[in-house]
Amino acid sequence: MNTVHSERRGAFIEGVRDQLPLVLGVAPFGAIFGALAVSVGIPAIETQALSLLLFAGSAQFIAVGLIGAGTPVFIVLLTIAIVNMRHLLYSIALSPHVQELGVRWKIPLAWLLTDEAFAIASLRYQRSGTVQDHWYFLGTGLTLWASWQVSTYLGITAGALIPASWQLEFALPLTFMAILAPGLTDRAAWVTALTAGVLALVLANLPLSTGLLISVVAALALGAGIQEAESRHEEQAGR
């Protein structure tokens, strides 16, 4: 029993350790989110609740922009759901490694499944595959979650001290560009990003901020089509 406990603790600590370098890059965005949310009129407690319960950086930034523009709740929720559809792919990729776990494990691990947690956990599953790897997953996910809460709170505190005359809206697109840039590694990603940007500008005057929703759906569909076409071409070339 002591050996099992030691293995679990060791795996958890390793997950915490391996996530810490990524926290250095993620935490500033949590602070920016907190400051931006307060600046557009979202109460501090609701801003913190978004990080506590939603815990999805890109979705939270989108929510701030849409809420600040007075977008109806339904459109906000639908846009967030579409943007976070990539998590379905993450779940499919990790499902073989967690399918033997009970619901008490699957629910919290699904909630903690972010881009960074997926990147670290998937590498662990590829190189290890031990029965205690879900403790590693928990460690890496909780580390990111805790740092996001702290950084959001610091952003809220700083945002409350910033005079209302200081316009922080410009930080939102800059932040998105910083988040987006590392992911632009192939043609499909570039086409998706550029299409979404152009359509968002062209459709900016549509009512209820539906232009953003249409831009996201259209860009994702186009990017997925390009990626599928490239995959088929590679398969044919390999025959």
| Domain final position from 135, 150, 181 | 181
Q: How confident is the model at residue 142, as a pLDDT?
A: 94
Contacts of residues 231-239 at CB distance under 8 Å and 24 or more positions apart, as own/partner, are: none
* pLDDT at position 193: 80
CA torsion through residues 123, 124, 128, 129, sign: negative
- The tokens describing 17, both together, are 């350790």
Kindly state whether residues 136 and 203 are assigned to the same domain. no
| Residue 40 structure tokens | 């557009």
176-183 own/partner pairs: CB under 8 Å, 24+ apart: 176/58, 176/61, 178/29, 179/29, 179/57, 179/58, 179/61
How many domains, in total, are found in the chain? 2
- Whether 25 and 50 map to the same domain: the answer is yes
In this structure, are 9 and 103 located in the same domain? yes
Q: Are residues 205 and 228 in the same domain?
A: yes
Does pTM top 0.75 for this prediction?
no
Each of the 239 residues of the chain gets a pLDDT tens digit; together they read: 577 788 888 889 998 998 888 888 788 888 889 988 888 889 999 999 999 988 988 888 888 888 888 888 888 888 888 878 778 878 888 888 888 888 999 999 998 998 888 888 888 887 776 678 889 999 999 999 999 999 999 999 987 665 555 555 555 555 556 556 666 677 877 888 888 778 878 887 777 667 777 887 788 788 778 877 777 777 676 65
pLDDT in tens, 148-191: 999 999 999 987 665 555 555 555 555 556 556 666 677 877 88
Same domain? 28 vs 76: yes
d(CA 209, CA 65): 10
188 and 161 in a single domain? The answer is no
Predicted pLDDT of residue 52: 92
Q: Are residues 148 and 63 in the same domain?
A: yes
Q: Are residues 10 and 101 in the same domain?
A: yes
Residue ending a domain, choose from 181, 203, 226 = 181
117 shares a domain with 98: yes
Q: Tell whether 31 and 80 lie within a shared domain.
A: yes
Q: What is the pLDDT of residue 123?
A: 82
Residue 137 belongs to what domain range? 2-181
Q: Say whether both 29 and 121 belong to one domain.
A: yes
Same domain, 175 and 189: no
